[in-house]
Amino acid sequence: KAAEQAIMVSTGSQDALTKTFELLLEKDDTLLLEEYTYSGSLAFLKPWGCNLAPVPCDQGGIKPEALRAILDNWTELDGKKPRVLYTIPTGSNPTGITIDLERRKALYDVAREHDLLILEDDPYYYLQFSKPWLPSLYSMDQDARVVRFDSFSKVLSSGLRLGFMTGPKEIVDRVVLHMQATSLHTSGVSQGVANALFQHWGATHGEDGAMVGFQRHVDGVIDFYSKQRAEFQKCA
């Protein structure tokens, strides 16, 4: 990536996400987002007062050609041209849609064409039922235009309130300063519990680079949810 990258532990991924919204969006800015998106984000964004521009979706998720059309046809009469896209690419809440590889590439291409910053909210990334897992938008990033938000809520415990953001250091550092001025830091107890779990699982890495112990744990969580899905389908 062209710019230096950084990582920050946050009080759940939503804490970092909303602080990033505050950092990047003024009242007269427009945020691009999927037409059906996470109610928790909307609960912050609507009172914040920026303009929201829903991008049409289909069964494959956000439509890159629709995003391109919105940006290609944007005029001064529409206000300031959007410079930020918010997306939930894996197991989107509320639709459950996962964007496939080709569409992820197309989405990133549109972002490059129109110089968009992508906010990749990906709390369900580690719960992909099919392997190999789809690559994140962040892993595709070539010019530091993706800020990624991960969460331990779905794979460890939601009550720990632990997440982390990764992205260009200039942006992450600003969010760190915001945290220092508000919540000071994420709970040391929660971080200690998570660290103890990772210590217990060990630091051995597999051929794919994943931590073996953590991957084994995640596979167990996926198996649990796969069975839940099967039962739900039986009842549908």
- pLDDT in 10s for each residue of the chain, 236 residues: 557 999 999 999 999 999 999 999 999 999 999 999 999 999 999 999 999 999 999 999 999 999 999 999 999 989 999 999 999 999 999 999 999 999 999 999 999 999 999 999 999 999 999 989 999 999 999 999 999 999 999 999 989 999 999 999 999 999 999 999 998 899 999 999 999 999 999 888 887 777 899 999 999 999 999 999 999 999 98
Going from the C-alpha of 158 to that of each of 12, 50, 162, the distances in angstroms are 8, 29, 8
| Positive or negative torsion for Cα 170, 172, 173, 178 | positive
Cis omega (within 30 of 0) for bond into 94: yes
Q: Going along 15-131, which residue ranges are E strands?
A: 30-34, 51-55, 57-58, 61-62, 84-87, 117-121
Model's pTM, two decimal places?
0.94
Closest CA to 67 of 81, 80, 77, 79: 81
Would you state the pLDDT for residue 204? 84
Would you state the pLDDT for residue 2? 58
Closest CA to 154 of 45, 4, 3, 12: 12
Cβ-contact 82, 74 below 8 angstroms: yes
Q: Please report, to the nearest 10 degrees, the dihedral formed by the alpha carbons of residues 174, 104, 124, 199 taken in order.
A: -70
